Amino acid sequence: MSAISMNTPKPAAETGITKEHKKVIFASSLGTVFEWYDFYLYGSLAAVIAVHFFSALPPGSAFVMALLTFAAGFAVRPFGAIVFGRLGDLIGRKHTFLITILIMGVSTFAVGLLPTYATIGIAAPILLVVLRCLQGLALGGEYGGAATYVAEHAPQGKRGLYTSFIQTTATIGLFLSLLVILGCRLLMGPEVFADWGWRVPFLISFVLLLVSVWIRLKLQESPLFQKMKAEGTGSKAPLKDSFGNWKNGRIVLLALLGATAGQAVVWYAGQFYALFFLTQTLKVDAVTANLFIAGALAIATVGFVFFGWLSDKIGRKPIIMAGCLLAALTYFPIFKALTHYANPALEAAAATSPATVVADPRDCSFQFVPGELKGHVTFNNSCDLVKNLLNTRSVSYANESAPAGTLASVRIGDTVVQSVDVTGMSSEQAHAAQAKLTADLTAAIDAAGYPRAADPAQMNKPMVLLLLTILVLYVTMVYGPIAAWLVELFPTRIRYTSMSLPYHIGNGWFGGFLPTTAFALVLLTGNMYSGLWYPIVIALITFVIGTFFLRETKDVDITE
């Protein structure tokens, strides 16, 4: 690939986009796809990782802790945005690209080599969290640079279209991770994959790392950045200039609350939470669920480019706001329809034999965060014992308060199962009492018609695929135009820093914690749909703030 030779380069708005520029944009996008692939492997394998790294916990808590580790990568993304955003504004987009891809590739490869809890104990989940944090730091520096880089090459009036190709990279990276996982499952078989084969997708990332570094070495610097450097108009203190004055800091805050927060929850609800809802709540087998999500992504991914192109015509704001509003208004009916078409037996059992936990509220723990991470962690209160069993079987339940000191019980239809109090019992007696409770409650759940897994014969697969495709289309509405909108809100000299922070707080914190928060709400309330309140509320907040306080930017000239 030849260099883009220009001593004092003209901005892309004047020269148009050349063939060489298109190659550079493609190379940038491809490298970003590989980085997203690395980051999302963990999320796609959260259920498997829970078994290997959190085996000391009860199943429900282990999965939530795996999701919390998944979220740790998102928690540090804003810090990566600050560190690498500053570097990108000081030394350039290209060199920052190389650093982020190296950190991401090496840390992902290391996850594939990491010993499990059974081998090294508590050190295993600790090291896993450390590697997830390194991935998060790398991704925090990646996206803002890629979006800025492409936007600064695009001609005036086409930034929405050109940056939309960067917007496809997150979904394509997820799609690629799902395909690799599915391929490994089918080639190895489910037992081998669950035992050690899950490591292979992580190890493959080393090959992708080599390809990505080769691509990044061929990139040329953004013409607008070169122009800024040549004129000496760059910022010497990007962090201070971005966040140290209210004029720019106000735009950063509005971009977070009025754009990226809502965009993020719609993105993660429509892809990751939908996947977890299928596998963990509706008990659809992992291969089928991944095929559904992969199919929806394949069908709807073109929406990123379409809505990016459309935003050049009608504006960024109306499309993103419409996506947030549609998601907030339709999530409950869509997810209930997923239950109806993916696991109709579960829906029928919940309607004919609803479950109610009758217990002293003080006897019920919030099973989201265990009290310790050593030995075998259990919840032994009479209320906790029955709730853990119900959660494991995806039985939604109502909560009914009982007088203080009352032993918890579960009412399923007309059947009542009494819990046990193991306080003061020997370990053998406690084990026997809990085993009898498990047998009695399992029998009652089975008798009420609650399925242990979704029956493929009863599944309406075309409708499930259609519903998931609608969810992904919402994702394309909010995500397709967001890069162009953020780029246009900030000046070139502090663009990388200024746009990266609201993007990664929105996507790293509001979006990345969505699966964890949603499932925590389900554990807290007992209702399988309670988790949807989180993305709905955030999307509505973004709709209001974005509509009334953020400006439209499609006609902004970023070269000025």
Both 519 and 430 in one domain: the answer is no
- 196 in a domain, yes or no? yes
Backbone angles phi, psi at 286, to 5 degrees: -60, -40
Q: Are residues 338 and 362 in the same domain?
A: no
Instruction: Give the end of a domain, one of 392, 425, 447.
Output: 447
Residue 215 lies in a domain: yes
Domain of 371? 348-447
**Residue at 14 is within a domain:** no
419: domain CATH number is 3.40.30
Nearby residues of 282 by Cβ (< 8 Å), 6 or more positions away? 338, 339, 342, 343, 346, 394, 454
Please give the share of the chain, as a percent, with pLDDT higher than 90.
Answer: 40
The two beta strands, 397-401 and 415-418, are unpaired
Same domain, 332 and 358: no
Asked whether residue 9 is assigned to any structural domain, the reply reads no
Does 524 share its domain with 428?
Answer: no
Task: Mark the ranges of the chain whose per-residue pLDDT is less than 70.
Answer: 1-18, 20-21, 23-24, 56-61, 63-64, 67, 92-94, 220-226, 228-229, 231-238, 366-379, 560
CATH of the domain at 216: 1.20.1250.20
CB-CB contact of 356 with 411 (8 Å): yes
CA atoms within 13 A on the CB side of 198: 23
CA distance 293 to 168: 15
pLDDT at 61: 64
| Backbone phi, psi, residue 417, to 5° | -115, 125
CA atoms of 220 and 182, how far apart (whole Å): 36
97 and 246 in a single domain? The answer is: yes
If one counts the domains in the chain, the total is 2
Quote helix, strand, coil % in the chain, to nearest 5: 75, 5, 25
* Burial (Cβ within 10 Å: 0-12, 13-18, ≥19) of residue 347: middle
From 447, 470, 493, the end of a domain falls on 447
Question: Does 337 share its domain with 363?
Answer: no
> Pick from 413, 447, 481: which residue ends a domain?
447
Task: Please name the residues in contact with 215: beta carbons below 8 A apart, sequence gap of 6 or more.
Answer: 27, 30, 31
Question: 560 lies in a domain?
Answer: no
pLDDT of 371 reads 32
- DSSP structural state of residue 363: G
Asked whether residue 251 is domain-assigned, the answer is yes
Do the domain assignments include residue 518? yes
Same domain as 469, residue 389:
no
- E-strand stretches of 69-225: none
Q: Note whether 23 and 54 are same-domain residues.
A: yes
Tokens 């489910």 locate to 190
DSSP-H helix ranges across 280-381: 286-300, 302-314, 316-342, 344-352
Specify whether 167 is located in the same domain as 291.
yes
pLDDT value for 348: 96
Please tell me the predicted confidence (pLDDT) of residue 9.
41
Q: 6 in a domain, yes or no? A: no
| pLDDT at site 11 | 46
Shared domain for 294 and 374, answered yes or no, is no
Q: Is 329 in the same domain as 255?
A: yes
Whether 518 and 435 map to the same domain: the answer is: no
